[in-house]
A and B are shown apart, each in its own frame.
Chain A
């Protein structure tokens, strides 16, 4: 299935800004995060089609996944 992944802030470094890619059926957010080599500790917001999702969320063909790092400083 076809998934568009959008990365933000530091997650773009050494990766990409936007990428369309083929993934097997049943792919979860967690598996894409792992494929991209993003440490789970750095994960902030994950959105699928602009809605908050958890790591175990299963993606569907045509979905757009956006991943933002965790910001906590003040």
Chain B
């Protein structure tokens, strides 16, 4: 049979423009990472000589890339941790009882408060080199990302649609196949979104942990955060400006080159039929899909996979666990009892230990004082929330009700939220010094700089989700002004607002560590608050006061979460959830 090749059936050239661009991009990436990455290993130095940060803006790209590499290592570790911890917590009932509450506490603990502890720990692990500090910094990034992602993964695992679970069992998937083909894909969207949001928050931790003073010693890692710290120390305003510009470029680049493609790619894992409200697009992903090279590689990879089935698709035992949630009952009481006793023992032990600690190490007066400082910081967080709500909710609603505006505004707001507010602290400090504003008040403004965006971002999302029918109904019923807000807008954006406020308040507690002490050159401003207390104790290496301060901050944050946010969240879920 003779078949005439049509125009479309002609073989395409194996490599096109898209492939050329892709190859070039990959080359650039490898080159940069290799070039910059070598710096990680040559910088072995005794602890007293820390690398000098050169303030010439020419060095900024290098520093920026160093920081970025740290961020991605942190992200990688977070993903590994997430998959392991989340899997174990979801699969083993007993582990679940310990791991999930623990995760809940870890999630609400302010990361920066622990910096002093982790820095000391990691440095002692690697004496005489900067590797310890590098680890400490990456660890801080990790702690800012991992808990959220783990929760998201765990939640996806336990809410895996029943029919998918059954299909996997009926068709006798191995555990590995189930993990790879069902469980991870089903959690992908949540993982990617949580990863992206916490990655954005991570710049703040990088900036704060690259240059830190612990026990009267200054530690510096080459990076954009330490660049800013040095600029502050020598009052170099132009350098600060350059750092801010670099940071913005960096955030936009990472978004365009990494997160956007990943988010757009993750769309294929969406399970509900309704597609996302705003379809994610990425030119880079389009490029990938247009290119031949990935497809060719994929084909070879599959062929290889077939040849080596033992290596690439391990036939682990078939997952034959019968529906767990119904069958664990016989030993339940026993387990509960053991668990209860263990937990009770730990609580009692903790209380006894705490009482002894207060008695012998710091004294009741000091404890009372630190609690008072905690209250002051709490009030700052409260003012911040009220401010962000009053100012940004109406703006967010206005933007959200205008889809075109929202499409433009949302990425901008997200960039603002990712931008490490501590880069702006020096500028604010100069203004405080000029206007003689006491940091007791100024700290509120500093905390607002970073945290407010979460309220705005979520309000926009909430307003966008209000069904058009409801808005038309309100117009039809001639609900105007306050009535419209009271009956329609506030209730319908309430869940989104709660989410935003929780994030903002978490961010603000973290920010208090760096916002309640600020320096400009040789001038240092202090605010009365728990953040300042912890920072000062860290700087001079006063261990009992560090422990006291960090513990108290955890107690504050966790109890506010339990008493206020948890309840508001439940209320929002039950009453004000639209659709």
Q: Is chain B found bound to chain A in the same assembly?
A: no
